[in-house]
């Protein structure tokens, strides 16, 4: 379950987005980008994946650069998959948290965020959807 501090709303240009319904303090946990952990190869090769909702990131592992993906193409009511990009002034940052040796991608506020503000993070330098480097 996502925290009851957020709601989904339509923005005419970006489609659906996620907005704060309570003030969010800088540094606090906002939500998890939930979905199925898959390899980069699976997300590149498989037909039928909705690339719109696949988050890709790389992790440095013993000096190797290892790509991972989370497939959030299921309409499961979770909000992480609906957070839009802001390359210039995002109010959140994605961090990788390890729980039981499994990575969880979580958004944290990088500034105090007022009620009604859209939650955003920087997807990365490359094309849609999200391509995060070394998190």
Ligand X SMILES: C[S@@+](CC[C@H](N)C(=O)[O-])C[C@H]1O[C@@H](n2cnc3c(N)ncnc32)[C@H](O)[C@@H]1O
**What does the binding site for ligand X look like in residue numbers (CB under 6 A)?**
13-17, 52-53, 81-82, 84-86, 128-129
Residue in the block written with tokens 């998190």: 135
Please identify, using beta-carbon distances, which residue of 25 and 132 lies nearer to ligand X. 132
Q: Which is nearer to ligand X, 14 or 95 (CB)?
A: 14
CB-based contacts of 18: which residues, under 8 Å, 6+ apart? 6, 7, 8, 9, 31, 79, 82, 83, 84, 118, 119
To ligand X, the closest distance from the beta carbon of 123 in angstroms equals: 7
CA separation for the pair 94, 108 (Å, rounded): 6
Residue closest to ligand X when measured from CB atoms? 15
Taking the complex as a whole, the smallest distance from the CB of residue 60 to ligand X amounts, in Å, to: 25
Beta carbon nearer to ligand X, 24 or 55: 55
Instruction: Give the nearest distance from C-beta 100 to ligand X in angstroms.
Output: 26
* CA gap 73, 34 in Å, rounded: 10
CA distances from 7 to 2, 97, 100, 134 (A): 10, 23, 29, 29
What is the closest distance, in whole angstroms, from the C-beta atom of residue 42 to ligand X in the complex?
18
State both tokens at 103. 């990575």
The DSSP secondary-structure symbol of 119 reads P
Closer to ligand X by Cβ: residue 15 or 27: 15
């Amino acid at each position: 379950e996502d925290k009851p501090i957020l709601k989904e709303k339509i923005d005419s240009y970006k489609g659906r987005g996620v907005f704060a319904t309570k003030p969010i303090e800088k540094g606090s946990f906002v939500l998890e980008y939930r979905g199925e952990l898959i390899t980069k190869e699976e997300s590149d090769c498989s037909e039928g994946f909705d690339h719109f909702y696949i988050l890709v990131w790389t992790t440095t592992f013993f000096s190797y650069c290892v790509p991972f993906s989370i497939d959030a193409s299921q309409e499961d009511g979770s909000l992480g998959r609906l957070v839009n990009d802001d390359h210039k002034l995002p109010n959140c940052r994605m961090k990788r948290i390890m729980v039981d040796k499994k990575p969880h991608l979580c958004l944290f506020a990088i500034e105090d965020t007022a009620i009604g503000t859209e939650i955003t993070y920087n997807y990365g330098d490359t094309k849609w959807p999200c391509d995060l480097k070394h998190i």
